């Protein structure tokens, strides 16, 4: 048998039909659904009198547009449009018989945090969701990617997607990371290297010692932002850490079934001489704590650098860089660590897990914030409960952070958690696009530790100085 | 789905790289549970000030481009979120074709599901088309999907690549789900085999 990559293996195990031109029907093992990109898909099903083909493989949770403040179980405490979208999801979940975690359920949270937490996400699966950060689930060695609403409807109706195979890219992070450098710095640094279109047409497999050393939480952070590099999906081969994480989760296999699954999961790695269409290697020791200065996730620099000038770039990026600098209100040559911050946001499917909250709390312990406002939005109700149990919530509250309920919140700012005009935010989320966190809001993407450091000093800060 | 065969129309130039889906349709317009009516808010934050007045410099607010049916844009168009509201807004505005050097993957796929043709061409070709688009309303570009060509108002023609299956669906206006349902037998067979091989799924 010819050598295969991990992507090849998962792909081959899920092709339900292949046409002569290579167009395939890829079978989908898990379909995650949220309130914003699904209503039109369910409406389409109803109009065509179609059913959900595999409701037992379909899981819904409201996250994008829900309030993160107390009392949200009562729709009266939601904005009218949120209440309509949440009510639509309630009804669709009930009518079509799919698994559902309503806002009143402690297990509710960001769909990409709930899936792994509940054991829905398992190695070797195909996972899709109408959200680009579905790549997160690749941390388990699952082929996971975002889809549009028409494809959501297609998966609901047929449990398959029409696909052609992507190319294989290997991103290797060798050696050890330096202190203060995290999974977020890895993933941002890779995008800084490849650009936001560098991964277009590829599925990335992340490997190397620095990736192996990451916890499952860290691996999810890395894969989460594969899409920001343009890749359809990011993958990490499952190992003992993965199996340990999965074992005992509510929807993970048990007993003999677990053993059978484990036997297959252990075959899920790229063969030694597998073919790669593109290979990128970065030394772990070369990665620094980074921040973004512009309005594209590729605008990445070490915290020790200065704001660049548009002249530092070439081609179409010259104009884009100037536009970013104007939008961000930054002067070339300014040390990044001189940039004053108004707001700190800790949360999102990128960095809303327990390890992220621990990392931030470690920096914040016994300190007070200097920024105008700071909020923590745990990725799920269970993460929130665990953080309270571990005393992290008290550290955040005593430092001056708001301690919110789970949801996507200010990552995409659909709900009332938004930046005001020109408000500058150090954010653990994934996108620094114009207007992303609020009209004319300014976003600097950072790791949880760096966000906590900025909260304490009121400026973008090298977290290593506070460690 | 609407068919796409040929299109002759005004092309609007947007020579900006990394135009993301948040620019195409900001999140406040994702609160709808419908697909229609989003054209009014296409490029909302670039097109209107906070009072809702048009920003005159923005290309689609210029008289020459109000009726644009084609968009010529910088690299990596449609990057960011999976929101299909982006192609819905583009289509609802009246644009049926977007030309760039490259597209983000999810956006690219979403276009085909909505009767929009995204065309990727080399930089040199996009540069020529951008110049042609800058001529305004008197210059009309022609897109021919059957023959896979884009032709400038001066008659200069460029060939483009498109996946044969996607082309077929767009030319015929075919519904993907209907096509897949015809292969239900293959899905049933696969599902039965997979249930044996991986019963824990």
- What tens digit of pLDDT does each residue of B31-52 get? 999 999 999 999 999 999 999 9
Contacts of B76 in chain A (CB under 8 A): 196-197, 200, 230
pLDDT tens digits, one per residue of A24-44: 999 999 999 999 999 999 999
- Mean pLDDT to the nearest integer, A146-160: 98
CA distance B133 to B139: 7
Note the pLDDT of residue B66. 97
- Mean pLDDT to the nearest integer, A226-249: 97
Nearest to B45 among A40, A151, A434 (CB): A434
- Mean pLDDT to the nearest integer, A388-400: 98
Q: Look at residue B175 and tell me whether its pLDDT is greater than 90.
A: no
Is B91 in a helix, a strand, or coil?
Answer: helix
Element (H, E) at A323: helix A316-328
Confidence of residue B100 (pLDDT cuts 50, 70, 90): very high
- Mean pLDDT to the nearest integer, A215-237: 97
Asked if the Cβ–Cβ distance from B104 to A436 is below 8 Å, we say: no
Q: Say whether the ipTM exceeds 0.90.
A: yes
Is A73 in a helix, a strand, or coil?
Answer: coil
Torsion, Cα of B164, B108, B88, B147 (10° steps): -40
Nearest to A197 among B45, B75, B190 (CB): B75
Q: Does B201 touch chain A (CB under 8 A)?
A: yes
Asked if the Cβ–Cβ distance from A159 to B50 is below 8 Å, we say: no
CA distance A159 to A208: 34
Two structure tokens written together for A459 = 């400026």
Contacts of B102 in chain A (CB under 8 A): 197, 200
Asked if the domains A167-239+269-286 and A290-466 are classified in one and the same CATH topology, the answer is no
Q: Does B43 touch chain A (CB under 8 A)?
A: no
Note the pLDDT of residue B137. 86
Q: Look at residue A1 and tell me whether its pLDDT is greater than 80.
A: no
pLDDT tens digits, one per residue of A112-138: 999 999 999 999 999 999 999 999 999
Residue B57: count other Cβ atoms within 10 Å of its Cβ. Answer: 8
Q: Look at residue A289 and tell me whether its pLDDT is greater than 90.
A: yes
SS3 content of chain A, % helix, strand, coil (to 5): 40, 20, 45
Domain definitions of chain A by residue range: 7-165, 167-239+269-286, 290-466
Q: Look at residue A50 and tell me whether its pLDDT is greater than 90.
A: yes
Please, which residues have CB within 8 angstroms of residue A393's CB and are 6 or more apart in sequence? A384, A387, A403
pLDDT tens digits, one per residue of B106-121: 999 999 999 999 999 9
Query: Which CATH superfamily hosts domain B6-174?
Result: Aconitase, domain 4 (3.20.19.10)
Smallest CA–CA separation between A257 and chain B, in Å? 6
Domain definitions of chain B by residue range: 6-174
Smallest CA–CA separation between A122 and chain B, in Å? 8
Asked if the Cβ–Cβ distance from A85 to B33 is below 8 Å, we say: yes
A167-239+269-286 topology per CATH:
Aconitase; Domain 2 (3.40.1060)
Query: Which CATH superfamily hosts domain A7-165?
Result: Aconitase, domain 3 (3.30.499.10)
Query: Could you tell me how many CB contacts below 8 A there are between chain A and chain B?
Result: 193
Class of domain A290-466: alpha beta
C-beta separation of A70 from A161 below 8 A: no
Q: Whole-structure pTM over 0.95, yes or no?
A: yes
């Amino acid at each position: 048998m010819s050598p295969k990559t991990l992507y090849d293996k998962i792909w081959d195990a899920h092709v339900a039909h292949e046409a002569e031109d290579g167009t395939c029907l890829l079978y989908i093992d898990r379909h995650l659904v949220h309130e914003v990109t699904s209503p039109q898909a369910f409406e389409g099903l109803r109009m065509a009198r179609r059913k959900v083909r595999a409701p037992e493989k379909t899981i819904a949770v409201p996250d994008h547009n829900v309030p993160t403040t107390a009392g949200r179980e009562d729709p009266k405490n939601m904005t009218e449009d949120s209440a309509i979208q949440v009510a639509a999801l309630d009804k669709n979940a009930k009518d079509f018989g799919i698994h559902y975690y309503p806002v009143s359920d402690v297990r509710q949270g960001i769909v990409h945090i709930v899936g792994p937490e509940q054991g829905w996400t398992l190695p070797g699966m195909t996972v899709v969701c109408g959200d680009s950060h579905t790549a997160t689930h690749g941390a388990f060695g699952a082929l996971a990617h975002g889809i549009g609403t028409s494809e959501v409807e297609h998966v609901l109706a047929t449990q398959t997607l029409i696909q052609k195979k992507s190319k294989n890219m290997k991103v290797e992070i060798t050696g050890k990371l330096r202190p203060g450098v995290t999974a977020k710095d890895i993933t941002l640094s890779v995008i800084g290297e490849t650009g936001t279109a560098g991964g277009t047409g590829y599925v990335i497999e992340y490997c190397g010692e620095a990736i192996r050393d990451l916890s499952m939480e860290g691996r999810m952070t890395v894969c989460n932002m594969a899409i920001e590099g343009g890749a359809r999906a990011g993958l990490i081969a499952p190992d003992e850490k993965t199996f340990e994480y999965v074992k005992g989760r509510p929807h993970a296999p048990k007993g003999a079934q677990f053993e059978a699954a484990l036997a297959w999961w252990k075959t899920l790695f790229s063969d030694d001489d597998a073919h790669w269409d593109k290979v990128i290697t970065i030394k772990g020791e070369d990665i620094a704590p980074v921040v973004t200065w512009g309005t594209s996730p590729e605008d990445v620099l070490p915290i020790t650098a200065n704001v660049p000038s548009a002249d530092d770039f070439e081609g179409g990026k010259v104009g884009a860089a100037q536009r970013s600098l104007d939008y961000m209100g930054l002067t070339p040559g300014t040390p990044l660590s001189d940039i004053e911050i108004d707001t700190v946001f800790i949360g999102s499917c990128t960095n809303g897990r327990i390890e992220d909250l621990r990392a931030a709390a470690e920096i914040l312990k016994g300190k007070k914030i200097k920024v105008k406002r700071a909020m923590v939005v745990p990725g799920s109700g269970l993460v929130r409960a665990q953080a309270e149990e571990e005393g992290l919530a008290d550290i955040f509250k005593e430092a001056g952070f708001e301690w919110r309920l789970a949801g996507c919140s200010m990552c995409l700012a659909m709900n009332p958690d938004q930046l005001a005009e020109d408000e500058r935010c150090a954010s653990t989320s994934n996108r620094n696009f114009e207007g992303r966190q609020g009209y004319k809001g300014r976003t600097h993407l950072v790791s949880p530790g760096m966000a906590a450091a900025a909260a304490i000093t009121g400026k973008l800060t090298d977290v290593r100085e506070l460690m | 789905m609407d068919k796409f065969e040929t299109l002759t129309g005004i092309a609007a130039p947007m020579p900006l790289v990394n135009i993301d889906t948040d620019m195409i349709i900001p999140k406040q317009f994702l609160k709808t549970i419908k697909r229609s009516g989003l054209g009014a808010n296409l490029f909302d934050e670039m097109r209107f000030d906070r009072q809702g007045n048009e920003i005159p410099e923005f290309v689609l607010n210029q008289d020459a481009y109000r009726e644009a049916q084609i968009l010529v844009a910088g690299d990596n168009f449609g990057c960011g979120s999976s929101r299909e509201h982006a192609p819905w807004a583009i289509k609802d505005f009246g644009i049926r074709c977007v030309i760039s050097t490259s597209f983000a993957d999810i956006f690219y796929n979403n276009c085909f599901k909505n009767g929009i043709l995204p065309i990727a061409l080399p930089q040199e070709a996009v540069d020529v088309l951008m110049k042609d688009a800058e001529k305004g309303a008197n210059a009309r570009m022609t897109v021919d999907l059957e023959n896979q060509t884009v032709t400038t108002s001066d008659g200069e023609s460029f060939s483009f690549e498109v996946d044969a299956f996607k082309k077929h669906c767009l030319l015929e206006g075919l519904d993907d789900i209907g096509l897949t349902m015809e292969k239900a037998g293959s899905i049933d067979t696969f599902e039965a085999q997979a249930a044996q091989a991986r019963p824990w799924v």
